[in-house]
Chains A and B, each alone.
Chain A
Amino acid sequence: MATEISMIPAITFLLPLAAGAPVLLWKGMDRRAQQGLPIVVAALVTGMGVWMAIKAAGGVTLTAWNDELRVDALSALLVLVIGLVALLASVYSVRYLRLEGLVERVGKEAATRRTRIFYALLLWFFGTMLWGSVTNNVIMLYVAIEATTLTSGLLVAFYWDRRALEAGYKYLMLLTIGITFALFGCVLIYAAAAATRQLSGGNALLISEVRTVVRFMPGGTAALAIAFLVIGFGTKAGIAPFHPWLPDAHAEAPTPISVLLSGVMIKMALYALARTVSIFYPSWPQVAVFLVALGAFTMLLGILMALPQNDLKRLLAYSSVSQMGYVLAGVGLGTYLGCYGGLFHLVNHAIYKSLLFLCVGAVIHSTGARRISELGGLRHRMPITSGCFLLGALAIAGFPPLNGFWSKLTIYLALAKAGLWWAAIVAIAVSILTMFVMVRAGFRVFWGEARAPAVSEAAAREAPPVMWMPMAVLGALCLLLGVYPQAAFPLLDRAAVVVATLGR
């Protein structure tokens, strides 16, 4: 593995952070510039992500600031996913976030101030997520992840009505408490690494260095650190039973933010969990069974909670909980096959959950309704949206030949190969339930009879191109990775090796 010193990892996260400041401070900034800046920044980040991915696939690790920042294949994968989803969500938000409704409720001045804050926080939200993906410092990893909570807290409560405020309060309170446990875990890693006296000075903070001394750490400390990290980062990643904040926040946030929360933020937290806990695997392989059991519990609970939901966004949010269970079961297994499947599923879920949220956003945008019981028969009025939703629903259910099929299949095989048949059976059963839940919802909303007269007679039209184009891109990705899953292999292979510390 070659390492190369490069400033690109630093630029990836400093660029959005720097771009957010003028948006917040310059009150006279044109609204188009406010909307355009996140798009441009996210496009640049995606470009840098592609470059890093190519480097990483070629076996090069990029470092900066004396190893404070470190981009291997796993980090590059995260940067690429964050960049792409951020780009599509920003494009989508141009038309989705209309000023008119807001002006009516809070007045023109407050509305413009609030959109200004929205775009500034959106940029900072990108920046903090990217920072967490590229940092190699275990304490800064905590700081970055808590910073994603802080930058997104007001975005969740953006509508500032009763529902949004309740979601925002719970989001900030529960995530801050949860993530404090992760701080304990990170500090324990650092303290235990420093106490081994194998590393000099600040090197005990660097995850890539700590990996090398884990075998010298006392067993009790490792167990304590793992428990704290699972509670802390698990809360943020929506792992049951720490998930209650998730459906509220993901459902009440404006749709572009829901996309970012469900599409990438929870993945980022799971990345942090994998990054930190995987270093303990070689010395304590027993952790694997515990994490797989937690993953199986999460997938089952998530889908059972999604089953009775009438609210489309809540349904998708609970389904996110369920899908994170798959990622945890795969990555938590610690074998190469499990990590490959888990990371592939992480990418796939980012694609199709973003797609599904964008479709639901389009439905809300044109009908104003989001309850399944109030909707129906939208297929003729919104053909593109209904097609995209069907594609996403089949992909999330693991229907061949779409991308979700391959990653789920890999996870089943990895679980079976490891002898954890019970987990494989739970995963397959949950997949069938997912099919039922998603296809039923899609069928009722787009195919069935329109229920409330207001919706069928309203001028429900297809979403404008800036809204359906991001959906089309994501739908195409679902198909591409389904028909040609090898496309992701060079990067996923290297990324899986990073976390697959239990060997091939």
Chain B
Amino acid sequence: MTQADPAAFNANPIETLSLLLVITSVAAVEMRRLRLSVAAYVCQALLIVALLAAFAAVNPALYWWAGTALVTKAVLTPWFLFRAMRGAADRELKPVMGLGASVIVACLLMLGFFRLTHGQAPLLGLTGMAEHEVFRTNLAVASTVFALGLYAVLTRRDAIKAVIGLCLLENGVHLSLVSLAPELPETAMFGVATEVVVTVFLLLYVIGGVRREFGTTDTFQLRELRQ
């Protein structure tokens, strides 16, 4: 493995990109209009592709990752999402927790993960690479995006919004692989990335059925099985 030379990075753009990732996550979670929410998600996907390409400067294997991410996250996933929303109301059903709560949650998560990745080096500094500042930042941001995705899945009533949350969650995982497993073989990366797209496709297919049968995508209405 070619050891990453910290000087090879221009750390500033990477930090800026990382910060933007968190902002797009909050936007994707908070936008009440679903199409805008998907647009925020696409922005995030493109940022991830850019970030992966930036890291690929020292680790060429990541070019594969960047290419796969471009196709699966920035093209296929949004296409499925827009297709699923065709003919449905654009406005999201009222969520359990609102904007103020989300912003507070996002800030707390970010602070917590930054402390964790920068304070608990023995726990997370697995590879020599992850010791460097940029990789720790990347891990903190990845964890924040993951947790925000989980937050969205748990607190949004609209099934489409829950799927967007799931996409965010997966983005967080994939982003963390840059720090944790930069040398993952292409087959494994391909398998991991493809499955997310297939999951989104199947979920949206089932949600299409839910909308026909229940007349809504409100997950709170899914209570046939509660006895």
Q: Which A residues are closer than 8 A to B by beta carbons?
A: 137, 139-140, 142-143, 146-147, 149-150, 153-154, 157, 160-163, 165-170, 172-173, 176-177, 180, 183-184, 187-188, 190-192, 194-195, 201-202, 205, 218, 220-221, 224, 247-248, 251-252, 310-311, 314
Contact = CB atoms under 8 A, between A and B. Distances in A.
A143 B192 contact: yes
Contacts of A248: 225
B224 interface: yes
A154 B170 CA distance: 21
Interface stretch (B4-12, B38-46, B78-86, B206-214): B206-214
Contacts of A166: 210, 222-225
Given A139-B191, A173-B203, 16 more contacts: A140-B187, A143-B191, A153-B206, A154-B206, A157-B209, A165-B210, A166-B222, A172-B206, A184-B176, A190-B184, A194-B126, A194-B183, A202-B185, A220-B122, A252-B225, A310-B227
Interface string B156-173: 000100100010011001
Interface in B99-136: 120, 122-124, 126-128
Contact of B210 (A169, A180, A184, A190): A169
The 3 closest A-B pairs by CB, nearest first: A220-B123, A143-B191, A139-B188
Contacts of A310: 227
A184 B173 contact: yes
Contacts of B153: 173, 177
Interface stretch (B15-23, B60-68, B194-202): B194-202
B188 A176 contact: no
Contacts of A169: 159, 203, 206-207, 210, 219, 222
Given A150-B202, A202-B185, A177 B166 contact: yes
Contacts, number: 121
Interface of B: 120, 122-124, 126-128, 150, 153, 159, 162, 166, 169-170, 173, 176-177, 180-181, 183-185, 187-188, 191-192, 195, 198-199, 202-203, 205-207, 209-210, 213-214, 219, 222-225, 227
A211 B153 CA distance: 36
Contact of B206 (A168, A224, A252): A168
Nearest to B213: A162
A155 B160 CA distance: 21
Nearest to B190: A143
14 contacts: A139-B184, A146-B199, A150-B199, A153-B206, A157-B206, A165-B206, A169-B203, A173-B203, A176-B166, A187-B181, A188-B180, A191-B126, A195-B128, A314-B227
Given A137-B188, A157-B209, A143 B195 contact: yes
Contact of B213 (A161, A172, A173, A188): A161
Given A150-B198, A165-B210, A180-B170, A191 B188 contact: no
B178 to A, nearest CB: 11
B203 A172 contact: yes
A413 B151 CA distance: 44
A172 B202 contact: yes
Nearest to A163: B224
Contacts of A149: 199
Given A139-B188, A187-B181, A176 B199 contact: yes
A100 B18 CA distance: 56
A139 B203 contact: no
